Amino acid sequence: MNLKLIRPVVVLLVLTSFTDQPTALIGSWKVAESHVEKATRSIIQSTRKDRPDLADQMDENFPSMVEMVKSIVYTYKQDNTYEVETPQGIQKGKWELRNNGRSLWMAPDSRQPRLDSVLELSPTSLLIINRERGDTILYTPANK
């Protein structure tokens, strides 16, 4: 096969995959059904470090906690802002894909920014490692 023809095609494919990543993130996402219990347990465990009493209450109400996690929706907007809809209200902040789309930086209006690792990003899945909790969670598009 002719290498002169293959090289430009490969370069174009690589550049296109990086350029499309921010576009793939735009929209609403929720924790995938297959990861809801895992995410709930991880949230409870991270709460246990600072608030063991609250974590115990969360454990006692685990089914309700699972339903709460199912209801959380992250909406990433084109202007690099985001909203997280939770039963407690809406949280807002700024987001940015960094490191050629391998990291997701999120700066909530009310907390310190965090940088998560992006393992996969496509129009149908977002797989990240939450560096605060150390867990890997799959998100899928939310049908609002």
| pLDDT tens for each residue of 118-137 | 999 999 999 999 988 889 99
Tell me the CATH number of domain 26-141, given options 3.30.465.10, 3.40.30.10, 3.20.20.80, 2.40.128.270.
2.40.128.270
**pLDDT recorded at residue 79:** 96
**pLDDT recorded at residue 5:** 52
Compute how many other C-beta atoms are within 10 angstroms of the C-beta atom of residue 102: 14
What CA–CA distance (Å, rounded) separates 55 from 48?
5
Q: Which residue has the tokens 């949230």?
A: 43
**pLDDT recorded at residue 137:** 96
**Contact criterion met (CB below 8 Å) for 26 and 78:** yes
- Which tokens is 35 given? 């990861």
**Contact criterion met (CB below 8 Å) for 93 and 81:** yes
Name 66's Cβ contacts closer than 8 Å, sequence gap at least 6.
Answer: 36, 37, 40
Alpha helices in 61-141 (DSSP H): 62-71
Res 12 pLDDT > 70: no
Q: Which neighbouring-strand residues pair with 105?
A: 96, 115
**Contact criterion met (CB below 8 Å) for 130 and 137:** yes
| pLDDT tens for each residue of 86-113 | 999 999 999 999 999 999 999 999 889 9
| pLDDT tens for each residue of 29-85 | 999 999 999 999 999 999 998 899 999 999 999 999 999 999 999 999 999 999 999
**In Å, what is the CA distance from 142 to each residue of 26, 84, 101, 117, 139?**
12, 12, 21, 21, 9
Q: What is the pTM of this model?
A: 0.81
